[in-house]
Amino acid sequence: MPREIVNVQAGQAGNQVGEAFWRMLLAEHGLDEDGHYKGNDPLQLARVGVYFTEVELSGSPNKYVPRSVQIDLEEGVCDRIRSGPLGTLFRPDTFVTGSTGAGNNWAKGFYTEGAELMDTILELIRKQTEATDALQGFQLLHSLGGGTGAGLGSLLLSKFREEYPDRMLQTYSILPSPKVSETVVEPYNALLSVHQLVENSDMTLCIDNEALYDLTQRSLKVKQPSFDDLNKVVSQVMCGVSTSLRFPGQLNGDLRKLAMNLVPFPRLHFLIPSYAPLYDPKAKAYMRQNVKDLTNAVFDRANYLVACDPRFGRYLTAATIFRGKVASQEAEQAVFDLQRKNSAQFVEWIPDNVSVSLCSVPPVGQTQAATCLANSTSVQELFKRTLTQFAAMYKRRAYLHWYTGEGMDSMEFSEAESNTHDLIAEYQQYQEATADEDEEAEYEYEENAVGGGEYEEEQVAEGEYEEQAEDVEYQE
C-alpha cells in the first residue's frame, strides 16, 4: 500500500518549481507527458501511487494523474502550464486561480484575495485526500518573498494543521536571497511567513535563488542560468527526499521517519538541502564517483541550496539518502568517518546524529546520487539577514499602509519580529550547549541540597510539634 503525498503548489515560484518536479517524476516512473506508461522496469510502477492516481480508461492504456493542486492569484502561470507540454497531464479542475493577483502583498494572500479562494481549495484537497488509502502528508511549494506563495501559502498551512492535525506538513520554501532582491517588501513577506512556518510546518526545506545561481554557474558550468536550470536542481532534491517512499530500498525513510530523526525540538525544523553529484555534463567521463566522495560532497557548502555557511554553526542532526548500488556498510562507514574527522561541527549531546537511507533505484541518467537534509544552527544566518532588513524598514513604518489597508494589524509585525528573535536565540542556545558532565554533577548537587533543606524543615516542624505537646501536658 503506497503512503500517498498530496502536492500543493502556490504562486509563481511554486508552480514553476512544481512543473520541473513533475517532469522529473514522469522520467523516473517511465511515464510520458500525457501520463501513460512507456517504461520497461516493473519497479517504476510498484509504488507510483505515492504521487499519482491511476485512472482506468476503457479501450486505451491506464493514465496516471498527479495528486496535485495548482494555485495562483493571477492566471498567467497556471495558463502557461495548461497550454504547455504538461497541460493534459493534470486534472482540469485542480487549477485554482484568482483574477486580481496579490501584488507582492502578504496581507492580500492571507486575509483578502487568498481567503476568498480558501473554500474552493479545501474542497479540492478533501477530494484528493478521500481517494487515498493511507495519506502520508502534504508538500507545499512556495516562495516567501511574494504575496501568493507567502500569504496564501501560510494560510493553507494553518488550515491543513486544523483539518489534518496528524498528517505530515513538509514545505519547500524559497527564501529571499542575500544580495539579489526580487521585490522591495520581501523582508516583510518573508518574516510574516516564517512566523507561520515556525508554528504550523513539520519540516521546512530552505532554498534560495542566489545559492542556486552559484551552484549552477560553478558546478554545472551554465554561464547565464535561467529559472529552468535552477528549478531542475530543486526538483532533483525533491525527488531524492521522496525516493524511499516511491521505490524499494535496503533502508527506508519516509517523511515521518525523516522528521523524527531530523527535528530534535519542534520549532527548529528549518533544514538545509544539498545534492550530489552536480557536474558539467561534458565532464561526466572524467568524474570519479564513490560513496565517500558523495558523502563529502553533500556536506560541502558549495552544494548547499541555501546561502549560509555551516562552519559558523553546528549540525544538530542530518539525514543522508543514497540512491543506486550502494552497500549499506560502505555508506554508514563514510558517514561515520566524516563525523569523526569533523567532530567539532556536530553537537556531542546527540550521539549518532546522521541517519542513512538507501534506495536501489538511481536517478535517470546517473548510477549513484545522494541527497542530504541538514539541521544546522547556521541556518540562523538566513533569519538574521532578513530580520535586519525588516527592522530597518519597520522602524520607519515604510510600506506599512499597504498591509494595514487590507485589514492587518501592525501588532502582527511586532509579533513576527519577536518570534524570529526567539528562534535565532534558540538556535544560538543549542549551538553553544555542551554535554559536559560537570553541569550534570552540579545539577545533582543542587537537587540534593534542595532535598536536604526540605528534610531539615520537616525535622524542625516535628521538634516544634513535640515542644507544643509538652507545653500542653505541663499546663494540665
**CA distances (Å), 138 to each of 129, 159, 465, in order?**
10, 12, 65
| Contact present, 361 and 247 (Cβ < 8 Å) | yes
Q: Kindly give the pairing relationship between strand 315-324 and strand 3-10.
A: unpaired
Overall residue count recorded for the chain in this entry:
476
User: Between vectors from CA 146 to CA 145 and to CA 148, what angle results, nearest 5°?
Assistant: 135
Round to whole Å and give the CA distance between 390 and 189. 9
Round to whole Å and give the CA distance between 421 and 383. 9
Q: In the β-sheet with 68-72, what is the strand arrangement from edge to edge?
A: 95-97, 68-72, 3-10, 134-143, 168-175, 203-208, 270-276, 368-376, 315-324, 354-359
Cell triple for 464: 516544634
| Contact present, 22 and 151 (Cβ < 8 Å) | no
Q: DSSP of 34-102, one letter per residue?
A: TSBB----HHHHHTGGGTEEEE--TTS--EEEE-EEEEESSSHHHHHHHHSTTTTTS-GGGEEE-SS--
| Contact present, 421 and 263 (Cβ < 8 Å) | no
Round to whole Å and give the CA distance between 425 and 391. 17
Q: Kindly give the pairing relationship between strand 203-208 and strand 270-276.
A: parallel
Residue 169's DSSP bridge partners are 138
- Report the 10 Å Cβ neighbour count for 404: 14
Q: Which helix (H) or strand (E) holds 135?
A: strand 134-143
Cell triple for 39: 517504461
Looking at residue 180, its pLDDT comes to 75
CA dihedral 224, 228, 234, 240 (to 10 degrees): -120
Exposed e or buried b for every residue in 441-471, given b needs 16+ CB within 10 A?
A: eeeeeeeeeeeeeeeeeeeeeeeeeeeeeee
Q: DSSP of 265-282, one letter per residue?
A: STT--EEEEEEE----GG
Round to whole Å and give the CA distance between 52 and 254. 17
Which of 233, 210, 370 is CA-nearest to residue 306?
210
Round to whole Å and give the CA distance between 320 and 226. 28
Region of residue 103 (phi > 0: left; psi between -120 and 50: alpha; otherwise: beta): left
Q: DSSP of 180-231, one letter per residue?
A: --SSTTHHHHHHHHHHHHHHH-SEEEEEEHHHHHHHHHHTS--SS--HHHHH
Round to whole Å and give the CA distance between 409 and 412. 6
Looking at residue 395, its pLDDT comes to 95
Which regions of the chain are under pLDDT 70?
Answer: 1, 437-476
Round to whole Å and give the CA distance between 197 and 153. 10
Round to whole Å and give the CA distance between 108 and 54. 37
Q: Which helix (H) or strand (E) holds 168?
A: strand 168-175
Looking at residue 471, its pLDDT comes to 53
Rg (CA), the chain: 26
| Contact present, 126 and 101 (Cβ < 8 Å) | no
Cell triple for 78: 497556471
Cell triple for 332: 554508514
Looking at residue 255, its pLDDT comes to 86
